[in-house]
Chain A
């Protein structure tokens, strides 16, 4: 033992108090003495002894009650309390004592040698318990540390994913613009030049000339479509509502599915990141509707309040069991929408049931809340 164990004896009988104290001190323990429950309580709180030997019969308070009290207080609940009694030694009273939280019960009369052996045994138990508790605390601390590390890593991963999404969008925006404005205009200029200065007069050459013009028109169409598929410039130029309405018309032409669009007023533009996210989510959801829902009409709702912008795409189509088919639908854009929403700190909900249609709802905060501070040292 590195340090002498500290033992508190609470007994109103001065003879017992003296003899037990003497016995324990002679063995090398540090002994504190109290003659009343009140003194015992105060010493227990102040000194936090390793072991409390508590007489059941005290003048001011029953020892069992004092024990219950010590075990109820945060500061003293870890104390190792042993009840001592010379009178109430029936099994019943022992049970009462142990139920009060006592860690041991010693019945008197008892020989000094046995008392000493019992005290040492109790101390060993007390020490084992302390070590166990320390190990447990250490474990908790490590778990907390690892959890903090993990959430830091997760935050970094999220930041990285968002960065990836942003970079991809920026890249698409650039290529779309380059295709449309630069390559598109060159082709246009080429066509004008051909038409105005190179138009042949010879009818034999005229046909292949017209064919060349047609090729140029086809090329122009391809370039334009490619540009729009990458990213509609309208989203940047004319804003979210216009771009969505335009997309719904294009969607109708391609799929014959009508979009019923309802929205709250949106007088100001959202951040480019949010506008892009909303547009992409709607695009993805509508693609899913066209693929799986089997409907002629779909409702898109868009709303904005002080804190969030919300989008909902609802169809009354085939639907699916959202609980069991998640894996299959994970590959069909649902996971993409979910990820996009979560990256921006938003909420994603998918309601679907076979035969009752599908409803995708996404709500995104207008202002990105900073990562929750990583708690450290919690639970130590």
Chain B
């Protein structure tokens, strides 16, 4: 016998899930909760094998409920029920201790399969998610730490170098064939981006970056 608690605030959805669950002879629904706090208390009291948990449940966010249940009742497996098919939600849920993630527009078979899989000690993701996980990561765009110097435009880099060499805005303007006002704007923009407050800061930055010799 598999004991199940259902935490879902939406009446119609809860009715639908109940129909699916009660159709299985070895499933037993031991309790229902309509918000996150109730869900945590329900698990405390009934210690079910599985908690079916709506991600967007009111009062206590589903992610927080999952975290607490995973910490305090590790024998209860949490299956997230969600309207969100987006990977970040899935990742967040798994990170918070959920064993399964089921989309609410799943078929009845998916839900039953999810319960059986997590009870057997494995993870379960809705088929749509599992497929996406396979293809999704291939497209993962590159990502890395930003070096703030990168945000300077070519012009600003030139102005930085000239300014670090001690040139005035007027001299910079002449060197780059721009107006002194434009030179001044470039200088203000680059200092703001780099978080520099004074000419000393600017020179120090330029030396540290090897833009000018110490």
Which of A's residues lie within 8 Å of B, judged by CB?
180-181, 184-193, 195-197, 217, 220, 224, 233-234, 237-238, 242-243, 245-246, 248-249, 252-253, 258-265, 301-303, 305-308, 310, 312, 347, 349, 351, 359, 361, 363
* Residue B105, interface by CB 8 Å: yes
- Residue in contact with B141 in the complex, picked from A220, A242, A252, CB distance below 8 Å: A252
* Residue B113, interface by CB 8 Å: no
Which residues of B sit under 8 angstroms from A249, Cβ to Cβ? Answer: 87, 136, 139-141
* Residue B131, interface by CB 8 Å: no
Known: A181-B56, A189-B12, A191-B105. A245 touches B192 (CB 8 A): no
- Residue in contact with A347 in the complex, picked from B15, B83, B84, B189, CB distance below 8 Å: B189
Can you report 10 residue pairs joining A to B where beta carbons are below 8 Å apart? A188-B83, A188-B104, A189-B13, A195-B20, A196-B20, A196-B23, A243-B88, A261-B141, A263-B145, A306-B195
The reply to whether B12 and A185 contact each other, CB–CB distance below 8 Å, is yes
The reply to whether B146 and A262 contact each other, CB–CB distance below 8 Å, is yes
Given contacts A249-B136, A303-B148, A363-B193, 17 further A-B contacts (CB under 8 A): A186-B12, A189-B11, A193-B19, A196-B20, A217-B105, A224-B85, A234-B89, A237-B89, A242-B88, A246-B88, A252-B141, A259-B141, A260-B142, A262-B145, A305-B195, A361-B153, A363-B192
* Residue B174, interface by CB 8 Å: no
Q: B86: nearest residue on chain A (CB-CB)? A: A246
* Residue B143, interface by CB 8 Å: yes
Q: B188: nearest residue on chain A (CB-CB)? A: A347
* Residue B108, interface by CB 8 Å: yes
Q: B55: nearest residue on chain A (CB-CB)? A: A237
CB distance from B193 to the nearest CB of A (A): 6
Known: A248-B141, A262-B150, A303-B148. A195 touches B12 (CB 8 A): no
The reply to whether A190 and B12 contact each other, CB–CB distance below 8 Å, is yes
Q: How many angstroms from the CA of A303 to the CA of B150 in the assembled complex?
A: 11
Q: How many angstroms from the CA of A248 to the CA of B146 in the assembled complex?
A: 17
Query: What are the 4 closest A-B residue pairs judged by CB atoms, nearest first?
Result: A192-B16, A189-B12, A262-B146, A196-B19
Which residues of B sit under 8 angstroms from A220, Cβ to Cβ? Answer: 105
Which residues of B sit under 8 angstroms from A351, Cβ to Cβ? Answer: 153, 155
The reply to whether A193 and B15 contact each other, CB–CB distance below 8 Å, is yes
Q: A349: nearest residue on chain B (CB-CB)? A: B189
The reply to whether A261 and B142 contact each other, CB–CB distance below 8 Å, is yes
- Residue in contact with B143 in the complex, picked from A184, A262, A307, A359, CB distance below 8 Å: A262
Which residues of B sit under 8 angstroms from A252, Cβ to Cβ? Answer: 139, 141
The binding surface of chain A is classed by DSSP as helix
The reply to whether A301 and B151 contact each other, CB–CB distance below 8 Å, is yes
Interface centre among B13, B23, B150, B189, by most chain A C-beta atoms within 10 angstroms, is B13
Q: A181: nearest residue on chain B (CB-CB)? A: B56
Q: How many angstroms from the CA of A184 to the CA of B144 in the assembled complex?
A: 36
B88-126 Cβ-contact flags toward A at 8 Å (1 or 0): 110010000000000011011000000000000000000
Which residues of A sit under 8 angstroms from B108, Cβ to Cβ? Answer: 192, 195-196
Which residues of A sit under 8 angstroms from B148, Cβ to Cβ? Answer: 264, 303
Which residues of A sit under 8 angstroms from B143, Cβ to Cβ? Answer: 245, 260-262
Report B170-214 residues with CB < 8 Å from chain A CB: 189, 192-193, 195
* Residue B27, interface by CB 8 Å: no
* Residue B10, interface by CB 8 Å: yes
CB distance from A361 to the nearest CB of B (A): 7
Known: A196-B19, A347-B192, A351-B153. A184 touches B88 (CB 8 A): no
B12-29 Cβ-contact flags toward A at 8 Å (1 or 0): 110111011001000000
- Residue in contact with A310 in the complex, picked from B10, B84, B151, B155, CB distance below 8 Å: B151
Q: How many angstroms from the CA of A191 to the CA of B103 in the assembled complex?
A: 13
CB distance from A57 to the nearest CB of B (A): 49
Which residues of A sit under 8 angstroms from B56, Cβ to Cβ? Answer: 181
CB distance from B13 to the nearest CB of A (A): 4
Q: How many angstroms from the CA of A224 to the CA of B146 in the assembled complex?
A: 33
CB distance from B158 to the nearest CB of A (A): 13
The reply to whether B141 and A260 contact each other, CB–CB distance below 8 Å, is yes
The reply to whether A359 and B153 contact each other, CB–CB distance below 8 Å, is yes
Which residues of A sit under 8 angstroms from B140, Cβ to Cβ? Answer: 249
The reply to whether B10 and A185 contact each other, CB–CB distance below 8 Å, is yes
The reply to whether A302 and B88 contact each other, CB–CB distance below 8 Å, is no
The reply to whether B92 and A246 contact each other, CB–CB distance below 8 Å, is no
CB distance from B169 to the nearest CB of A (A): 18
CB distance from A323 to the nearest CB of B (A): 12
The reply to whether B83 and A185 contact each other, CB–CB distance below 8 Å, is yes
Q: How many angstroms from the CA of A195 to the CA of B16 in the assembled complex?
A: 9
